[in-house]
Structure 1
Amino acid sequence: MRRTRKAGNAVIGTVSAVALCSGAWLLSSGSASHPPPQPSAAQAARTPDTGRTGRATAPSTGEHGTAPLPPSPPDRVRIPAIGVDTPLMGLGLTRQGSLDVPPPERKNLAGWYEAGTTPGERGTAIVAGHVDNKEGPAVFYELGALRKGRTIEVERRDGSVAVFTVHANEVYDAADFPDEKVYGAASRPELRVITCGGKYSKQTGYQGNVVVFAHLTAVR
């Protein structure tokens, strides 16, 4: 079901790790001892500095970014460092208010939250995809290995390519998923790429999510 764009990311509830992937491949293949890579502490966002006023200031990313683009739906996302080159489908929300996901049988398909910001626009755009399915690794299996400074390219329907630079890669337990940090408004064009991650249970699958944080640094 399509939703009117610009409903805003604030309506998204916590992403369901079970919806993104139950870990069926790890369980059926006996590969639970070899889970997908997880981001190290070195790839986390820098701790905000505190000035004399005592107020926390935004963490430095080392990049000034570039001017926002006008709205345009994305058609494809590429992450060269981890071999991702995949089409994008539009995603809505589940009845529970969490972000929906691509069909699990389409393991090489990712999606974007089409009721929110388009990638390259001012604000926070959301892309999500599976880490695996019962057949094996899926589109974002290597997402946890993505390092700061790597780029993410988004092909837009207007013919432009929005290039984002990664400034953090973090993993969260589902119970402590930071909705505001991930989905909250941004004053510049930002991108979040989300998949399953964290601890793994044979009973319930992955217990959390890997989230890559990136910001617009070039346009082609």
Structure 2
Amino acid sequence: MALGKPLLQLEKVTKIYPPSIRALENISFEVRRGELLFVTGPSGAGKSTLLNLIFGLERPSSGRILYGDLDYAHLRRRDLIALRRRMGFIFQDFRLLPEKTVFENVYLGLEVLGIGGAVARERVERILRRLDLAARRDQRVETLSGGEKQRVAIARAVVKEPELVLADEPTGNLDPERSREILRILEELNAEGITVILATHDENLLRGHHRRILVLPEGRIVNA
């Protein structure tokens, strides 16, 4: 698939946590529309920090982040919240509500956007069928397997039809078979036009995939 114009650009981004922990150092790269980009490196290398910055959960200590023609530094809080609605985030620890059902967890992803009623229900049912979760729709999340929970997390992230999905170690707690299943789902979503940034320390996921890989050891990119 031919890639489009740059969707995201990072220019000399540095993130320092008090007192002087340099999580990211002088990071520069761009992501094009329709790309599936792997970001790899050992635990603690700064992968989660990078995704948090892109999602606007944290601010860089220096440097610039652009989403299309939007400069994060100039966005007010409400503008940043609006920008996040164009993204989906698959968190490493799922961030699901364990006492709620599968349907309720995914539906809440739309409800916070002000989308409800028949439109929301139809979209939720469609994505549950897509991810083979329809038979689990009324089960509480706490009763699911790890792989099923991760699929619910993916459903919640993509039900709002984002243009960019950020996946933070989406296979970190899964066995190899379930890991391949999750990667296949993300590749299918990417083939449909969703831009995906996948952060992982699992080198097995990278084998046999002709995708761009950013290597991020100790907060610095060694190839961009």
Q: TM-score, normalised by structure 1?
A: 0.29
Structure with more strand by fraction: 1
Larger fraction in helix? 2
Largest Rg, 1 or 2: 2
The alignment's TM-score, normalised by the length of structure 2, stands at: 0.28
